[in-house]
Amino acid sequence: MKQILLTLLILAQQAIGQDIPQTELNTSIDEVTVFLQGAHITRTGTARLIPGHSVLTVKSLSPYLDSKSIQVRATGDFTILSVNHAYNYLSQRQKNYQLDSLQQLIKSIELEISRHKTRLAVLGEKQSLLHENKHLGSDASGVVLAQLEQAIVFYDQELSAIKSEELTTKLAVEKLEKKQEKIEQQIADVSGQEDLPSSEVHIKVDVKKPTQAEFTITYLVENAGWYPNYDVRVARVDQPLLLSYKADVYQNTGVDWTNVRLRFSNATPNQSGVAPELTTWRLNYTRNTVYRRPDLLGQSVRTVSGKVISNEDGEPLPGVNILVKGSTVGTVTDIEGNYSLTLPNGAETLVLSSIGYATQDIPIDNSQIDAVMSPDIQALNEVVVVAYGSEASRSLQGRVPGVQIRGQSSRPKAKSIITTTVENQTTVDFEVAAPYSIQSDGEKRSITLKQYDIEADYRYYAVPKLDQDAFLIAQITNWNQYHLLEGEANLYFEDAYVGRSVLDATALTDTITLSLGRDKSIAIQRTKLEDFTKRRVIGANKVESREFEIVVRNQKSSPANITIYDQLPVPAINSISVDPIRLSEGKYQEETGQVAWQLVLPPQTQQTLALGYKVKYPKRETVPLE
């Protein structure tokens, strides 16, 4: 740190020696486009420029600014000579905006505690005065019975009142002190946040004559993003479903977004745009080949929850981003470091990321996954400090990595701002109609983007071998017009919350299937019939048979369209054969063993299905059928 400060002083002296006027360019954030990971910031500002060379400095920018993404556009009769990015270690990022309010709250609590303690002192004095005057008359004179009774009643009343008020006041003080302790701990957490240098953008201009200039500065920042989320409401199965498309947005960039035009984009600008290429596929012997074992346990996990803590002090970490790798399904830990997430099919890995901590990839091998995050000691190792007043800045003109210069041409007029359409060639943006504010606190905020009334085909789906509940399924056709992304969905059926699911918007078909949760009004029972379980030997083979009974009852007041799925085993080798016995007119696929029944049950009726099969295999072998 001392070396950095010394370097800054030397550079400042060099800048002064160049006699280049330096002016702060006041800007404000007008528009923010939030990507799935990261955000695109648009700042605007105006300045009156005088003839000659000068440097305009845009200060107090996010320390997480991506210098490669900086673009400056301007209008006015001048030329932009160079655009540089630098960190300012002498102007540290301001603490969380909550700090002032917390400190004010501490002062009010301390004042209240002081008032209560003053009252306790008064009660103590009052009690001492009462004790000192409890003797009646002198030692030589006696006290009549009536005076004694009157004194006892008075002493009892006064002392009881003092003790009662004293107890109440002490409890109030204790409660306030506990509250003060919690707030002081929160203040310590906020104050203990690492002071990061603010970013600055230095714009060197050449002005021929006085002019009024308008600047637009755009750049990308990290530690912001959004996750798609949905509310799916179904009042009746004969009505359209109401889909609320929401964005769970967070930002911890170090700079508040106040009354900005807010957009949400389904793009991921930090993702590589390089098209993949196939490499040579070389076959080898099995002993020389490394296979990746499928994570079967992870495939069976449908929801995951846990707690994220710091390995430095064991304290919970709020605001940690939890993302299912390869998808847009994610969430953010709450103030206690807890999270809960519904997983899409095929989910294998969680990606955990947070400011100042090393990103982790954690395999999904359980429904409860806790994590410990370690500080990223290399987070700020690559720091660029630019002396914008020295001759070195001229040599860097147009060579600073990623810094793009606008307005450096022979034309006296700089290019105007380029606008962006809401629906692009490869991405879709959602624009919030009214100005919106999001503070830099890492908390998750839910913003409704769109609401759709969608016609859907409803049917019930059940696999009683695995789960004896029926699931209501909505099939949505032509879903691409709604620009949906894969995300968690909160399900509401008949005005009741019924659980969460995942809207799988990665399907390549015209129809998307959404599970709306369990419906207990459809009762299903699958029973193994022991009387039909047989084993016998015929020649060199054993023959075993199994039969199951599936009873489906519609307890609703309306008809129910139900699809029941079960299965027969599929032989892996030719010496084993499987033949169906009874399938109750179910459709049987021999290749997969799947059996499906399409039922339309009238209200308050039931139907019984039979599933029977026999298996033949060599009698010297054993085949597991349970």
- pLDDT tens-place string over residues 20-70: 888 999 999 999 999 988 999 999 999 999 999 999 999 989 988 988 889
Q: Domain for residue 326, yes or no?
A: no
Q: Residues 117, 51: one domain?
A: no
* Alpha-carbon distance values, 186 to 102, 206, 364 (Å): 8, 49, 32
Residue 137 confidence (pLDDT) above 70: no
Q: Residues 172, 124: one domain?
A: yes
Q: What does 403-458 look like in DSSP terms, one character per residue?
A: -B--S-SSSSBPPPPPP--SB-SS-BEEE-SS-EEE-SS---EEEEEEEEEE--EE
Q: Residues 471, 588: one domain?
A: yes
Q: Residues 512, 601: one domain?
A: yes
Query: Considering only CA atoms, which of 347, 351, 328 is closest in space to residue 339?
Result: 351
* Contact criterion met (CB below 8 Å) for 59 and 91: yes
Q: Residues 465, 529: one domain?
A: yes
Query: Considering only CA atoms, which of 283, 370, 362, 378 is closest in space to residue 325?
Result: 362
CA-CA distance, 358 to 353, in Å (whole number)?
Answer: 7
What's the pLDDT score for residue 150? Answer: 76
Question: In the numeric block, which tokens belong to residue 209?
Answer: 């004559």
What's the pLDDT score for residue 424? Answer: 54
Q: Domain for residue 500, yes or no?
A: yes
Task: Show the domain range for 104.
Answer: 98-191
What's the pLDDT score for residue 289? Answer: 61
What's the pLDDT score for residue 549? Answer: 94
The mean pLDDT of 132-149, rounded to a whole number, is 62
Under the phi-then-psi rule, with left for phi > 0, alpha for psi from -120 to 50, and beta for the rest, what region is 498? alpha
Q: Domain for residue 493, yes or no?
A: yes
Q: Domain for residue 245, yes or no?
A: no
| pLDDT level of residue 1 (50, 70, 90 thresholds) | very low
pLDDT of 79-93, one tens digit each?
999 999 888 876 544
What's the pLDDT score for residue 271? Answer: 60
Q: Residues 45, 184: one domain?
A: no
Q: Domain for residue 56, yes or no?
A: yes
Place of tokens 């021929």: 208
pLDDT of 376-423, one tens digit each?
765 444 433 333 333 333 333 333 333 444 444 443 444 332 222 244
The mean pLDDT of 421-438, rounded to a whole number, is 71
Q: Residues 472, 545: one domain?
A: yes
| Packing angle, helices 98-132 and 145-191, rounded to 10 | 160
| pLDDT level of residue 298 (50, 70, 90 thresholds) | very low
Q: What is the DSSP letter of 282?
A: -
CA-CA distance, 142 to 545, in Å (whole number)?
Answer: 109
Q: Residues 491, 386: one domain?
A: no
**Neighbouring residues of 242: CB distance < 8 A, sequence distance ≥ 6:** 231, 232, 233, 234, 451, 452, 453, 454
pLDDT of 166-223, one tens digit each?
888 888 888 888 888 888 877 766 665 556 678 899 999 999 999 999 999 999 998 8
Q: Residues 496, 579: one domain?
A: yes
* Contact criterion met (CB below 8 Å) for 519 and 460: yes
The mean pLDDT of 286-296, rounded to a whole number, is 54
Among 141, 169, 191, give the residue marking a domain's end.
191
The mean pLDDT of 458-475, rounded to a whole number, is 90
Q: What is the DSSP letter of 336?
A: T
The mean pLDDT of 237-255, rounded to a whole number, is 89
pLDDT of 92-121, one tens digit each?
444 455 566 777 888 888 888 888 888 888
Q: Domain for residue 564, yes or no?
A: yes
Total domains in the chain come to: 3
* Contact criterion met (CB below 8 Å) for 43 and 205: no
Q: Which of the residue ranges 96-105, 246-255, 525-534 would you say has the lowest mean pLDDT?
A: 96-105
Among 395, 429, 446, give the residue marking a domain's end.
395
CA-CA distance, 544 to 444, in Å (whole number)?
Answer: 58
* Alpha-carbon distance values, 156 to 129, 131, 148, 453 (Å): 14, 12, 12, 73
The mean pLDDT of 420-441, rounded to a whole number, is 72
CA-CA distance, 268 to 555, in Å (whole number)?
Answer: 48
What's the pLDDT score for residue 9? Answer: 44
* Contact criterion met (CB below 8 Å) for 244 and 446: no
Q: What percent of the chain has pLDDT over 70?
A: 78
Q: Domain for residue 434, yes or no?
A: no
Q: Residues 465, 586: one domain?
A: yes
What's the pLDDT score for residue 391? Answer: 35
Q: Domain for residue 16, yes or no?
A: yes
The mean pLDDT of 510-534, rounded to a whole number, is 84
**Lateral strand order in the sheet of 330-332:** 330-332, 321-324, 349-354, 357-363
Q: Residues 122, 45: one domain?
A: no
**Neighbouring residues of 336: CB distance < 8 A, sequence distance ≥ 6:** 307, 316, 318
CA-CA distance, 559 to 569, in Å (whole number)?
Answer: 32
**pLDDT, averaged across the chain:** 79
Residues 336, 325, 509: CA angle, nearest 5 degrees = 125
Query: Considering only CA atoms, which of 8, 2, 6 is closest in space to residue 384?
Result: 8
Q: Which of the residue ranges 10-19, 138-147, 584-593, 609-618 would you say has the lowest mean pLDDT?
A: 10-19
* Alpha-carbon distance values, 225 to 54, 63, 250, 590 (Å): 36, 16, 6, 47
What's the pLDDT score for residue 410? Answer: 42
Q: Residues 121, 134: one domain?
A: yes
Q: What percent of the chain has pLDDT over 90?
A: 30
